[in-house]
C-alpha cells in the first residue's frame, strides 16, 4: 500500500513502511536521550550519587539503561522492520528524495545482519537521520511527541 502526497502540484507515491512511524519515533526519542550523554569521566565512582549531584546519570556507562532499552527494542523488531529502520537512517543521512527509497531499502536488505542495534547506536546523529528520513517520506513524529512531552 502506498500513500499519496502533493508535492509541487504533482502526486508522488510514497512507499509503505513495514515499521510503524510510532516505533521509529520511539527510537528517535530514545536515541536523543542517548545522544545527550557525556563521556564517562569516572568509570567507577564508588560514591553516593546524591553526594556527586547525580552527575553520573548524564554519562555513558556500559550498563546504560537507555542503550539496553534501545538494543532490546531494535532486536525485537522483525527483520523487515530493522531493514526499514536502517534504510530510513540512510535516507535521512544522504538527504536524497523519496524516489530513492527502493534503492536504499534494497541496499539495506543486502547489508542486513544480526548487529542492527549496535550499528544504529554507533551512528552519530541517528535521531536526526531517522527524523529526516521520515520527513522525506511525508511522515513526522509530531503526534507521537505531543503525548509524551
Exposure string over 51-66, b if 16+ CB within 10 A, otherwise e:
eeeeebeeeeeeebeb
Q: What are phi and psi of 3, to 5 degrees?
A: -100, 155
Number of domains in the chain: 1
In a domain, 99, yes or no: yes
Q: Report pTM.
A: 0.74
Residue 4 lies in a domain: no
Q: Which residue has the cell 550519587?
A: 49
What average pLDDT values come out for the chain (149 residues) when binned by 10 residues?
Answer: 43 77 95 69 56 52 80 97 98 91 96 96 95 94 70
- Note whether residue 78 is domain-resident: yes
pLDDT of residue 17: 93
Q: How many CA within 13 A on the CB side of residue 36?
A: 10
Question: If we measure between CA atoms, which residue out of 19, 17, 28, 31 comes closest to residue 142?
Answer: 28
Give the pLDDT score at 45. Answer: 55
In a domain, 1, yes or no: no
- Residue 9: the pLDDT is 37
Residue 142, domain extent: 19-146
Answer whether residue 9 is part of any domain: no
Residue 13 covered by a domain = no
Domain contains 5: no
Strand partners, 15: none
- Residue 144 CB neighbours (<10 A): 18
Domain contains 2: no
Amino acid at each position: 500500500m502506498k500513500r499519496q502526497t502533493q508535492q509541487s502540484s504533482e502526486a508522488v507515491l510514497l512507499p509503505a513502511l513495514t515499521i510503524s512511524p510510532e516505533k521509529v519515533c520511539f527510537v528517535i526519542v530514545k536515541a536523543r536521550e542517548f545522544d545527550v550523554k557525556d563521556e564517562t569521566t569516572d568509570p567507577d565512582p564508588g560514591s553516593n550519587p546524591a553526594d556527586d549531584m547525580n552527575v553520573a546519570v548524564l554519562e555513558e556507562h556500559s550498563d546504560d539503561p537507555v542503550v539496553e532499552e534501545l538494543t532490546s527494542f531494535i532486536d525485537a523488531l522483525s527483520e523487515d522492520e530493522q531493514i526499514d529502520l536502517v534504510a530510513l537512517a540512510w535516507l535521512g543521512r544522504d538527504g536524497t528524495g523519496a524516489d530513492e527509497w527502493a534503492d536504499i531499502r534494497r541496499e539495506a536488505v543486502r547489508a542486513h545482519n544480526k548487529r542492527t542495534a549496535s550499528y544504529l547506536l554507533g551512528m552519530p546523529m541517528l535521531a536526526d537521520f531517522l527524523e529526516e528520513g521520515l520527513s522525506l517520506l511525508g511522515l513526522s513524529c509530531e503526534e507521537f511527541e505531543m503525548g509524551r512531552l
